[in-house]
Amino acid sequence: MIAIIDYGMGNLRSVQKGFEKVGFEAVVTSDPKVVLEAERIVLPGVGAFPDCMRNLEHGGFVEPILKVIREGRPFLGICLGLQLLFTESEEFGIHKGLDVIPGRVVRFPEGMTEEEEELKVPHMGWNQLSFKLRPPAFSGIPDGTNFYFVHSYYVRPDDSSVIATTTRYGIDFCSSVWKDNIVATQFHPEKSQEKGLAILQNFGAMK
């Protein structure tokens, strides 16, 4: 069973429907006990980093998340669910994250350009992945595949060896990470059509 953590941030039904489309049972839960019993865990999220951390703490999810990660169960972070794994974020001040992956969440710099055209923040729409590592969840995804993004902040890991993919948007930024049993994406697999569903299917099959 796949548990999708509901801490009051984001449209979790779309993630659940994505798993159902590829043949996996997934439950949306606000109960930390269900997370502790699940075989695989998904941490999605949209919104502001400090609000999300506060909701995780108030919902009693922090220790269960850290426990299932320590135990080696497959863990998927999506969008803000990637950022929350890091040490801290500079969104609306400096705020502590789960500190599972050392590093920081930072905002895209102002005045970015591409081919002399000014780029807007948030970064929103389809963009390509460039592979550095290929976690099992990305099996069969060709280099250069487009996925759907919407974000103003990106992760900067202290250890570059956890970077699975980068994406170009004014700068080359880390668009996904892979560390042991954790795979986490800045993009939205559930909004990325066929290739996004392939990632959900691969994750659902992970041991």
Catalytic residues: 79, 188, 190
Helix (H) / strand (E) containing 174: strand 171-179
Q: Taking each helix axis as running N to C, give the angle between helix 12-21 and helix 193-204, from 0 to 180 degrees, rounded to the nearest 10.
A: 80
What would the two tokens of residue 48 be? Answer: 């502001």
Q: Where are the beta strands (DSSP E) in 33-152?
A: 40-43, 75-78, 86-89, 95-96, 101-107, 113-114, 117-118, 123-128, 130-131, 146-151
d(C-alpha 138, C-alpha 108), whole Å: 26
